[in-house]
Amino acid sequence: MLISSSKLLKNAKQNHYAFPHFNFWDSNSIRAEIMAAEELKLPVILAWAQKHSPEIGIEDALALGKYYGNKANVPVVLHLDHGVDVDTVEYGVTHGFTSVMIDASDKDFNENVRETKIIGSYAHERGIVVEAEIGHVGTNSTKDGSMYTEVAAAQEFARLTNVDSLAVSIGTSHGVYKQGTPKLSFSRLAELEKAVPIPLVLHGGSSSGDENLARAAKQGITKVNIYTDLANAALNATQKNSFLSEPDMAFAQRKAVKDLAEHYYKVFGTVNYQYTI
Ligand code: 13P
Ligand code: ZN
């Protein structure tokens, strides 16, 4: 069954844990992520990121998400991640995503507010929840560095845009880190949690350290986005073994992705949550 993330993130905020958000990039990864959720009997947030369009287009992602999401015996949120243009996100809203992110975090404050408001009213009129980002979670390259979220800006942004959840930047980056586990600013997170009334989201979860992520989940983050670690788990499973058939290899990849997904449910404290419809 496909559901909204609204109730999930509110519950996570109230009870100091987080939901994992897993990006999928093909049918094998989405199946593995659902298997993890089914094993633990927990809802799952499955996401297609617009920047993954070269590997999997929006139509394919929608088809896979709806097919496997409706077949799953746990609730599934189908989320459009890092939507970078209004047209694509609006298309996602009308074609089956149950949650969308408009990401104008690399633009100035006013433009970020303007684009987020356009998506906000379009999506809310259609019963779809919206995530946006203030501050910027970059990619560890010199061209796209992270910028910490300012508390006053986050508070004002949430008030002006009426979004349902807000991605904030407290020291993580997308992808692998060049220099070990990052140092997260828990003091900034505490200030943000106090000032911003809506659920907070953490991007760039991969390789950020279980201790850091567990603490972030306890202290105000309600969703942690994970992609790179899952893709690397699939790759490592392939490289570690020599397979006699492609299906055997795909099976090993699914198992590696499923095991890691289950691990993150435990790290974020989601396993203590009893879901009721
Ligand atoms: P990682 O690839 O660092 O896990 O980031 C995932 C993410 O933020 C997707 O939106
Ligand atoms: Zn992200």
Shortest-distance ligand to the CA of residue 175? 1
Q: Which amino acid is at 52?
A: H
Q: What is the pLDDT of residue 141?
A: 74
**274 Cβ partners below 8 Å, 6+ apart?**
none
Question: Which ligand is in closest contact with the Cα of 226?
Answer: 1
Does residue 239 register a pLDDT over 90? Answer: yes
Mean pLDDT over all residues of the chain? 96
Residue nearest to atom 5 of ligand 1 (CA): 204
Q: Ligand 1 pocket: which of 228, 257, 268 to mutate (most atoms <8 Å of CB)?
A: 228
Statement: residue 9 has pLDDT above 90: yes
**Residue 174 alpha carbon, nearest atom of ligand 1:** 3
pLDDT tens column, 150-191? 999 999 999 999 999 999 999 999 999 988 999 999 999 999
pLDDT of residue 143: 73
What predicted TM-score, i.e. pTM, was given to this entire model?
Answer: 0.97
- Residue 240 reports pLDDT greater than 90: no
Which of 52, 166, 227 to mutate for ligand 1's pocket (most ligand atoms within 8 Å of CB)?
Answer: 227
DSSP 47-116: EEEGGGTTTS-HHHHHHHHHHHHHH-SS-EEEEEEEE-SHHHHHHHHHHT-SEEEE--TTS-HHHHHHHH
Q: Which of 60, 81, 103, 144 is catalytic?
A: 81
- Structural domains of the chain in order of their starting residue, each with its CATH number: 6-271 (3.20.20.70)
Q: Count of alpha carbons within 13 Å of 17, Cβ hemisphere only?
A: 16
- Per cent of the chain over pLDDT 90 is 92
What confidence score (pLDDT) does residue 273 get? 85
81 C-alpha to center of ligand 1: Å?
10
CA-176 nearest atom, ligand 1: 3
Is 261 within 8 Å of 33 (Cβ atoms)? yes
- State the chain's maximal CA–CA distance in angstroms: 57
> Is 60 an active-site residue?
no
